[in-house]
Amino acid sequence: CSNLGANSTLQGIIARSANGVHENTSLNYQPPAALVELVRRKTAQIQSLRVGVLTSSRNLLTQAASMSDYKRFIVAIGSGEVWRVDRVDGACIE
């Protein structure tokens, strides 16, 4: 009985009862409250990733549009058909 506190198995049982089951433990052994918390956390993580993907997509579309405008500007200057490059430059910058 005196060495019971040094028993590693008993220490693991006490730690689990105090801290709960580890997050990576199989769902079969998770208590209902831990399952609900796990689902909430995963849902928040998925939502955050979705917002990040949408933001990245929007940024890529904006960059592609500005690149397209820049290419049209370069082609207009390179064609030699534009007489007043300063006006074209001012229109593209706006």
Q: Which of 64, 62, 44, 41 is nearest to 52 (CA)?
A: 44
Domain ranges of the chain: 25-93
Summarised one tens digit per residue, pLDDT across range 33-83 is 888 988 899 999 999 999 999 999 888 888 888 777 778 777 777 777 766
Task: Evaluate the CA torsion angle 18, 19, 20, 26 in order and state its sign.
Answer: negative
Summarised one tens digit per residue, pLDDT across range 54-64 is 999 888 888 88
> What is this structure's pTM?
0.48
The answer to whether the beta carbons of residues 82 and 88 sit under 8 Å apart is yes
